[in-house]
Amino acid sequence: MTEYWDHVAKTSYHLRQKRPIVTDIFYRRLVISLVSSLTSVKRSRILKLDAYNEATNTQYGFYMMGEDADLISVDISAGIIKKAAERTKKRNLYNRSHFIVSDFRRLPIRSQAVDISCSFGSIEHVEEY
């Protein structure tokens, strides 16, 4: 699976786009609205189980951060993480963004280290689910 996502990081048209397209904006608004309506937790530390959206123009995690939350993104692909980190720098969020190259099925994170976790397109790539 790592090889596949590293290949996607090098070849995906979606990752090469310079500006958001209509669907990026639509899905971003939908996801942020849904997360906001379903959670009452103050989101100080957000765990995202992939970094693909942050590597593209949808960037759900960046918008979920608001003014003061930290974002921890776990992704199996170092290539995807690299692209997400580049976008983080462009948005001046680098000091509040943390990236981990790992399989989300074996998270290297302590219990209760985050306030909320989310995934928007990861679990369906895991064969046993």
Q: Work out the average pLDDT over 109-124.
A: 83
Q: Is the per-residue pLDDT at 129 higher than 70?
A: no
pLDDT score, position 97: 96
Tens-place pLDDT, residues 60-111: 899 888 888 999 999 999 999 999 999 999 999 999 999 999 988 888 888 8
3-state secondary structure the chain: CHHHHHHHHHHCHHHHCCCCCHHHHHHHHHHHHHHHHHCCCCCCEEEECCCHHHHCCCCHHHHHHCCCCEEEEEECCHHHHHHHHHHHHHCCCHHHEEEEECCHHHCCCCCCCCCEEECCCCHHHCCCC
The domains of the chain, with CATH numbers, are: 2-122 (3.40.50.150)
pLDDT at 89: 95
Between the two ends of the chain, the Cα-to-Cα distance in Å is 15
Judge whether residue 126 has pLDDT over 80: no
Residue 42: CB atoms within 10 A of its CB come to 11
